[in-house]
């Protein structure tokens, strides 16, 4: 139930993100979801792609520092209160969230949130018990 | 193995007697043949006959890099130019270079001291020495070459550069001894890893390092990467080139070739001669050089001297690894900082690549010190707070080593310049 996510170290310098994305573009790898955490000195680019292993190797060959981690993908209805319901489940189970990012799937009229709790396993467990719709990796990669 | 047991293992009394005799000769020779020395000695009212003991050397004036520069090109030669068979120059980054001239006999001395040193590293006729020091006006290449030839080892005179070729040759020729600068050594190791060359495929039994400062931590790193012991080579063009002092297998300091070069340590501000074990600037006098004798040359290199019989059997005095130069000392907010201190702190951190750059700026009348280090997979974390924590940790390590607050910037891998010779570790952007 865990989705593979690539985290890439980016220096806070002109053109660095573009370079990373170009590496993927040349290999025909489409990005499913993306977020950036940034500080004044550096950024962390987080990506969900269909072939995370291939993408990781490609990026590393181009001298990027890449780590593979996991997030949980939850589908929810695209209407007010959708996300807060999901967060409520984690809150009630006393699970801290490190970060999240969300986007809308236009075809399905649904929204998808990618969650990174401190404890991934406990997060999956709590969300499933709480009735949230946790999506399996294949579905995420094939959006 | 000891190359010249008589010279290298001589008793203290015997050596001092020999040194005094040679010192008296060289002082007389310099006074009689080089106007610069005659003028200086006369100015101080000193005659060569005043040298009655080794301590009397302290009566003699120092020779500085500027003195040699003023004599450019051939003003310090003691013999007619036709007797000089080879010249080298120092890099000359600040003004005119200084020229070093060698007679045939001087080249023999050079090859003798380097043969002693390479023998300390374990070199013999059976070895293949890959010499990545540059061949040219720089003394590094030829110094190693002459020593290796004297021993009868096979030399690969490859010089610096062509890094992939270096690795191919190392593998195909079965190099057993590699001579590099520390920064180029690291770069070579990095490329070797990229090329998928395994440590075990290399036949290296020793690595010799010269021409650049390095820390003990850097030695450990290089030994780990090459899977072979690494030894220090010390020398400078003005005196002869590499071969002034080299490290024996004990790896605890470099034996100074005392029968050819007489070392002293001084306080670089008061000029007072310090006793053994005290840290200060190394001053060298050539005892045997004929073509260009040098009296009390101020090297600007900081070290200490220790005498006694080494476990390796040699009795030649030992100097510590150079821990800094009086002229690469950075004054940051009034505090003396040496790049080697920063390197030492950085290499204590697991996963940190040994490539770094120190940038000094003065944005608002106050010095700022930035240290750029390359991120590695081991250091990197997906969490911003952890990455900030790593940055803080590195800052704290450096801070506790130098006593100053620094700003560490994590940069992407392989973005800091790699050196093929001497590394540029410090960029001082202050308008001083």
User: Do residues B251 and B282 share a domain?
Assistant: yes
Which residues of chain B does A70 touch, with a Cβ-Cβ cutoff of 8 Å?
none
Residue in B with minimal Cα distance to A41:
B409
From the list B376, B384, B413, the residue facing A39 with the nearest CB is: B384
Min Cα distance B387 → chain A (Å) is 9
pLDDT in tens, B7-65: 999 999 999 999 999 999 999 999 999 999 999 999 999 999 999 999 999 999 999 98
Tell me the residues of chain B between 374 and 413 that have a Cβ less than 8 Å away from chain A.
Answer: 375-377, 379-384, 387-388, 391, 409-413
Q: Whole-angstrom Cα distance, residue B138 to residue B147?
A: 16
Pick from B327, B357, B385: which residue ends a domain?
B327
Number of alpha carbons in the 13 Å side-chain half-sphere of residue B45: 0
From the list A16, A46, A63, the residue facing B413 with the nearest CB is: A63
User: Do residues B215 and B92 share a domain?
Assistant: yes
Residue in A with minimal Cα distance to B377:
A65
Would you write out chain B's pLDDT as a tens digit for each of its 432 residues? 999 999 999 999 999 999 999 999 999 999 999 999 999 999 999 999 999 999 999 999 999 988 998 999 999 999 999 999 999 998 655 567 899 999 999 999 999 999 999 999 999 999 999 999 989 998 999 999 999 999 999 999 999 888 999 999 999 999 999 999 888 888 899 889 888 888 777 889 999 998 677 788 889 989 999 999 999 999 999 999 999 999 999 999 999 999 999 999 999 889 999 999 999 999 999 999 999 999 999 999 999 999 999 999 999 999 999 887 777 778 787 777 888 889 888 988 888 888 899 999 988 778 899 999 999 888 898 888 889 999 999 999 999 888 888 999 999 988 888 766 667 788 888 865
Q: Whole-angstrom Cα distance, residue B225 to residue B282?
A: 31
Given the candidates 3.30.70.260, 3.30.450.20, 3.40.50.1820, 3.30.750.80, the CATH classification of the domain at A70-141 is 3.30.70.260
Min Cα distance B284 → chain A (Å) is 46
List of E strands, B338-419: 356-361, 368-374, 407-411
Residue in A with minimal Cα distance to B381:
A67
Pick from B327, B354, B376: which residue ends a domain?
B327
Q: Quote the number of domains for chain B.
A: 2
Topology adopted by domain A2-69: VC0802-like (3.30.2130)
pLDDT in tens, B376-420: 888 898 888 889 999 999 999 999 888 888 999 999 988 888 766
Q: Are B130 and B162 in contact (CB under 8 A)?
A: no
**What pTM was estimated for this model as a whole?**
0.74
Min Cα distance A92 → chain B (Å) is 24
Structural domain boundaries enclosing B337: 330-428
DSSP string, B228-283: S-EEEEEEETTTTEEEEEEE-TT-SSEEE-TTTEEEEEE-TTT-PBPPTT--EEEE
User: Do residues B144 and B155 share a domain?
Assistant: yes
From the list A16, A44, A67, the residue facing B384 with the nearest CB is: A44
Which residues of chain A does B412 touch, with a Cβ-Cβ cutoff of 8 Å?
9-11, 16, 63-65
Cα-atom radius of gyration of chain B, to the nearest Å? Answer: 22
SS3 B77: coil
């Amino acid at each position: 139930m865990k989705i593979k996510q690539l985290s890439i170290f980016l220096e806070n310098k002109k053109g660095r993100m573009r370079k990373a994305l170009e590496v993927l573009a040349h290999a025909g790898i489409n990005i499913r979801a993306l977020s950036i955490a940034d500080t004044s000195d550096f950024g962390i680019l987080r990506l969900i792609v269909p072939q995370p292993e291939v993408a990781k190797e490609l990026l590393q060959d181009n001298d990027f520092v890449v780590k593979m981690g996991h997030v949980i993908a939850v589908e929810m209805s695209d209407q007010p209160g959708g996300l807060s319901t999901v967060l409520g489940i984690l809150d009630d189970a006393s699970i801290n969230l490190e970060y999240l990012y969300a986007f809308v799937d236009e075809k399905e009229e649904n929204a998808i949130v990618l969650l990174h709790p401190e404890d991934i396993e406990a997060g999956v467990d709590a969300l499933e018990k709480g009735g949230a719709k946790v999506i399996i990796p294949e579905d995420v990669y094939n959006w | 193995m000891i190359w010249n047991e008589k010279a290298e293992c001589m008793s203290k009394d015997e050596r001092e007697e020999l040194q005094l005799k040679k010192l008296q000769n060289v002082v007389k020779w310099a006074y009689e043949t080089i106007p610069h020395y005659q003028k200086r000695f006369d100015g101080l009212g000193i005659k060569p006959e005043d040298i009655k003991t080794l301590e009397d050397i302290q009566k003699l004036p120092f020779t500085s890099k500027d003195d040699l520069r003023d004599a450019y090109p051939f003003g310090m030669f003691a013999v007619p130019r036709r007797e000089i068979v080879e010249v080298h120059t120092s890099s000359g980054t600040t003004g005119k270079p200084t020229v070093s001239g060698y007679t045939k006999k001087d080249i023999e001395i050079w090859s003798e001291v380097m043969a002693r040193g390479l023998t300390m590293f374990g070199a013999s006729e059976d070895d293949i020495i890959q010499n990545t020091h540059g061949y040219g006006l720089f003394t590094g290449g030829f110094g190693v070459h002459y020593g290796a030839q004297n021993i009868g080892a096979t030399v690969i005179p490859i010089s610096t550069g062509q890094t992939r070729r270096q690795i191919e040759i190392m593998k195909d020729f079965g190099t057993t001894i590699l001579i590099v600068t520390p920064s180029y050594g690291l770069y070579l190791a990095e490329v070797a890893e990229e090329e998928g060359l395994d440590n075990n495929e290399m036949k290296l039994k020793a690595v010799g390092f010269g021409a650049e400062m390095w820390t003990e931590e850097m030695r450990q790193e290089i030994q780990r990467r090459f899977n072979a012991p690494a030894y220090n080579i010390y020398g400078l063009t003005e005196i002869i080139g590499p071969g002034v002092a080299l490290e024996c297998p004990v790896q605890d300091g470099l034996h100074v070739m005392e029968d050819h070069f007489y070392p002293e340590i001084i306080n670089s501000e008061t000029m007072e001669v310090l006793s053994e074990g005290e840290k200060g600037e190394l001053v060298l006098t050539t005892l045997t050089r004929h073509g260009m004798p040098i009296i009390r040359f101020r090297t600007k290199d900081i070290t200490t001297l220790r005498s006694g019989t080494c476990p390796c059997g040699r009795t030649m005095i030992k100097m510590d690894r150079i821990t800094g130069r009086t002229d690469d000392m950075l004054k940051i907010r009034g505090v003396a900082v040496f790049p080697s201190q920063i390197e030492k702190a950085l290499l204590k951190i697991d996963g940190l690549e040994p490539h770094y750059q120190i940038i000094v700026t003065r944005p608002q009348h106050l010095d700022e010190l930035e240290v750029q280090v390359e991120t590695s997979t081991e250091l990197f974390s997906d969490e911003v707070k952890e990455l900030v924590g790593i940055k803080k940790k590195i800052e704290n390590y450096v801070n506790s080593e130098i006593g100053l607050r620094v700003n560490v910037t994590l940069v992407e891998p392989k973005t800091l310049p790699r050196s093929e010779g001497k590394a540029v570790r410090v960029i001082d952007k202050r308008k001083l």
